[in-house]
Amino acid sequence: MAKITDEFLAVIGGLLDLYGQQASTTKVNIYWSTVGQYPIESLRRAANVWVRKSQFMPKPADLIKLMDGSNNHLSSDEAWSIAILASNENNTVVWTNEIAKAWAQAEIVYRNGDKIGARRTFINAYERMVDESMMYGRTIEVFVSLGSDKEKRTDAINHAVFTGLLTQDRANYYLPKPENSFAMLECKIKQGASNNSMMHIASIKQMLKTGRVCVTAS
């Protein structure tokens, strides 16, 4: 097992001290073996949430429940990189309720020209909202605000799939649909195809309609 880190000891030691419990090697090892594999930021956030909701020392299972419930929450920096896209109506934005609400507060500052202040306002609001969502066990809701630029829309949707915000099935709903095959063939005809090409296209269309291969003489 990996060595217990100072950051971990600071969190668990702080909890033990806050709740008036005596630290011991056995207690610390139990917490390390059960929650030590979680990212330290997730553990620290779970501890902060817990102390605001309970007067009793959290068991490892209590912390795990909070951390598992926050696994899909993006970090404040990741959330800001998404929120800032909403400053341009051409952009498609895939975000959570927490990101959207935090941006609503930061946008006023941003529109006034203070980008640094806007980021600080956003991060403070976002972290507070994530903590509250964890505290009350709210499920993470993801929604899509479609922008006018279709190319950027595709990039945003695909990025959301990559980061885990959207499933591929849900993403397919927002991605541009493939053009109709018959319409594409008709377009080629209208653009001045040769007689042989037109005959070939007609045979392909017949094949698509009937499911049978039609052969034309060249």
Mark which of 16, 48, 69 sits at the end of a domain.
Answer: 69
pLDDT of residue 169: 87
pLDDT of residue 214: 46
Number of domains in the chain: 3
Q: Same domain, yes or no, for 101 and 165?
A: yes
Q: Same domain, yes or no, for 15 and 61?
A: yes
Q: Same domain, yes or no, for 105 and 135?
A: yes
Q: Per residue of the chain (218 residues), what is the pLDDT tens digit? A: 678 899 999 999 999 999 999 989 999 999 999 999 888 888 988 898 898 888 999 999 999 888 876 556 788 898 999 999 999 999 999 999 999 999 999 999 999 999 999 999 999 999 999 888 877 777 788 899 999 898 888 888 988 888 778 888 888 888 876 544 444 445 544 555 555 656 655 666 665 555 554 444 44
Mark which of 69, 93, 111 sits at the end of a domain.
Answer: 69
pLDDT of residue 181: 42
Q: Same domain, yes or no, for 170 and 186?
A: no
How many CB atoms lie under 10 A from the CB of residue 153? Answer: 21
pTM, full prediction: 0.58
Q: Same domain, yes or no, for 19 and 61?
A: yes
* Residue 135 host element (H or E): helix 115-135
Compute the 3-state secondary structure of the chain and give helix, strand, coil in percent, each to the nearest 5: 65, 5, 30
Q: Same domain, yes or no, for 189 and 126?
A: no
Q: Same domain, yes or no, for 80 and 118?
A: yes
**Domain range enclosing 143:** 76-174
On whether residue 163 sits in a domain, the answer given is yes
Distances in Å between the alpha carbon of 31 and those of 26, 43, 52, 63, 64? 9, 11, 20, 10, 10
Q: Across the strands, what pairs with 145?
A: 93
Q: Same domain, yes or no, for 49 and 128?
A: no
On whether residue 1 sits in a domain, the answer given is no
On whether residue 186 sits in a domain, the answer given is yes
Mark which of 28, 48, 69 sits at the end of a domain.
Answer: 69
